[in-house]
Amino acid sequence: MTNDMVSRERRIRRLAERQKLVIRKVRSGNEAGRYRIMTLQNAAKTCTTSAAFPHSFSLEEAEEYLTE
């Protein structure tokens, strides 16, 4: 992972924290390498519009979701 990717991921994590959300990277399964956005209170997962990956986001999709 390049420095640009790391700094972008940190920026998106901070953006999520401001909205009382948390981003977790999926480490296994068919969604490995993607990100889940969850609430801090009850760890409820946020759904996406993707049919292939309904509970995970690419980094770009996560950024778009959080800036809406």
What are the domain boundaries of the chain?
3-67
Q: Which of 37, 32, 5, 44 is nearest to 21 (CA)?
A: 37
| pLDDT per residue as tens digits for the range 7-63 | 999 999 999 999 999 999 999 888 899 999 888 777 666 777 677 787 889 999 999
pLDDT at 50: 74
Q: What are phi and psi of 34, to 5 degrees?
A: -95, 180
Global model pTM greater than 0.85:
no
